[in-house]
Structure 1
Amino acid sequence: MELKFRGQNLNISYDLKLAMNAAAKASKYSREQILERMEESCRRHGIKTQISMSLLEKWLNPQADEHVMPLKLFPVFCRAVDCDCTELLSILMRPLGYRAIDQQQEKLLSWAEAYQEAKVAKNRLKKIEGSL
């Protein structure tokens, strides 16, 4: 039985692992360096965990559905591979009907909202002028 929420499949494991694997491959860091960077970030930020290379490989393997990276390590991974991780966040949020946006998209959204507000204000001004 497939669970759905707002028409979306709630089992994001495969898609998320596929995207995380792609992010790791696209990274300028090797798998060993990614592991080292994750361990260093965990130490620096007081995140208590044990990560091994075999565990990291399982977390990045879409076929290893029973091994999922703990959520507390998700930002650590994103920092370690040095990607913006917008797509990864979107995969997490998709079943809830949301998507992540980057800083440029946020600026465009703010511009569109301001533009819409200006349009509404302009129409209000025209109505007021027409009644004078």
Structure 2
Amino acid sequence: MVKQLNLFDRKSFNITRELKECMAQVVADSGRSRAEFLDLMNRLADRFGVRLVKGNGNHLRMATFEKWLNPNDHEHIPSPSALAIFSEIGASSLPLQVLAAPIGCRVIDEKDIKLLLWAKEYHRIRESRAKMRKLEADL
């Protein structure tokens, strides 16, 4: 049986615009200026030996950073390592969520991980109790 595609629920792998809009919002919500945000990114990248840009430059410059945040610029996209640094400075996993969404994945935090592990254990225990009741009834 063929699943009918919904015109409005189609997923897209063309996420550049959404990613850049999300990144711009993270910067705006951070309470820092773009210059401060950029400086913190460069410092963290230096600390961990991450290159934020291609070519000969060692640091991300404001002009490139502005292009990363511009949804109309489809040429300049941060690398995965740069996106990780960006997400750390912005204290937000939303840019990573934008990347994961087209393949049906979600990015979760420590609290959600603990909740998921608890739920799995809870269901394992319920199944175990059901088996025990069945065995007990057969005795």
The two structures have a TM-score, normalised by structure 1, of 0.86
1:114 aligned residue = 121
How many residues are treated as equivalent by the alignment? 124
Q: Which moves more between the two structures, 56-65 or 44-53?
A: 44-53
Q: Secondary structure at the match of 2:74?
A: coil
Report sequence identity in percent.
Answer: 31
* Aligned-partner Cα distance in 2 for 1:17–1:84: 14
1:17-96 superposed matches below 5 A: 17-48=20-51, 49=53, 50-81=59-90, 83-85=91-93, 87-96=94-103
The CA deviation string for residues 25-75 of structure 1, in whole angstroms up to 9 with x for no partner, is 000221001111111112211223341111101101111112111222111
Q: Secondary structure at the match of 2:78?
A: coil
Displaced runs of 4 or more, over 2 A:
47-50
Residue identity opposite 2:89 in structure 1: A
Q: Which moves more between the two structures, 35-44 or 116-125?
A: 35-44
* Aligned-partner Cα distance in 2 for 1:79–1:28: 14
| CA RMSD between the two structures | 1.4
Match for 1:131 among 125, 131, 138?
A: 138
* Greater relative CO (CA pairs within 8 A, separation 6+): 1
* Aligned-partner Cα distance in 2 for 1:69–1:89: 12
The two structures have a TM-score, normalised by structure 2, of 0.82
